[in-house]
Amino acid sequence: MTDSGRSTGATDRAREAAKQLVESVYELTGGSMSPSLERGWKVLVEPIELLKAPPEPGDVILIECTTGYVVHRCLGMVTLGSPPDERPPERVVHVIHAGDSPSARPGIVLASQVRGLVRAVVRPEGKQQLSLHQLPLETQRRLSRFRSRWELYARLLRLVDSIPGLHRLLAGAPARAARRSLGIG
């Protein structure tokens, strides 16, 4: 009786592991990661809870959005704060991300929206996955410029947050200027 209990437990654990593996595989339906990842390829995602460290720039991540899931490349992380007049001031980590496609628009999401890190790619025979450094030079430059602008924007916001009352005095001017320079507003 004990042996059958063990085999049932082992079977249950195997089923649970298989279920988790199936739930961690996503098929790409868009082209924002082309040419490094193509539509129809499948990615195996390691859940964020199992990671020992947060995603680093260059990692491919899975993001949960209001419209579903998006696979993009992490460009960096920034910590932004609330206006100093809010008590207590809150620091919130955001992830800057973008697709590898020249037409992909970069964005920023809360770190809590990152669901995992792409660990493996299942692609049709003969297709190769490209890393960040294998992408076309123009795509690398575009992603690098965008990341530099976001880092500058984050430093500016930290400066504004550190001076009491400056946030109200500027009335959102730094954010508007940064959005204009990034082409997102």
User: How far apart, in Å, are the Cα atoms of 99 and each of 9, 136, 167?
Assistant: 42, 13, 32
Domain boundaries, the chain: 25-182
Q: What angle do CA 68, 74, 79 make, to 5 degrees?
A: 100
Tell me the pTM: 0.63
Residue with the larger pLDDT of the pair 53 and 152: 53
- Write down the pLDDT at residue 174: 58
Q: How far apart are CA 109 and CA 128, in angstroms?
A: 29
Tell me the per-residue pLDDT of 136-148, one tens digit each, with 9 for 90 and over: 777 778 778 777 7
In this predicted structure, the answer to whether residue 75 has a pLDDT above a threshold of 80 is yes
Tell me the per-residue pLDDT of 20-68, one tens digit each, with 9 for 90 and over: 555 688 889 988 998 888 888 888 898 888 888 888 888 999 999 888 8
Q: How far apart are CA 76 and CA 96, in angstroms?
A: 5
- Write down the pLDDT at residue 2: 42
- Secondary structure of 23-61 as H, E, C letters: HCEEECCCCCCCCCCCCCCEEEEEEHHHCCCCCCCCCEE
Give me the count of residues in the chain: 185
Is there a contact between 58 and 74 (Cβ–Cβ < 8 Å)?
A: yes
User: Tokens 């507003």 appear where?
Assistant: 185
Residue with the larger pLDDT of the pair 181 and 25: 25
Tell me the per-residue pLDDT of 80-129, one tens digit each, with 9 for 90 and over: 765 555 566 567 788 989 998 888 888 889 999 999 999 888 877 766 66
Q: How far apart are CA 79 and CA 93, in angstroms?
A: 4
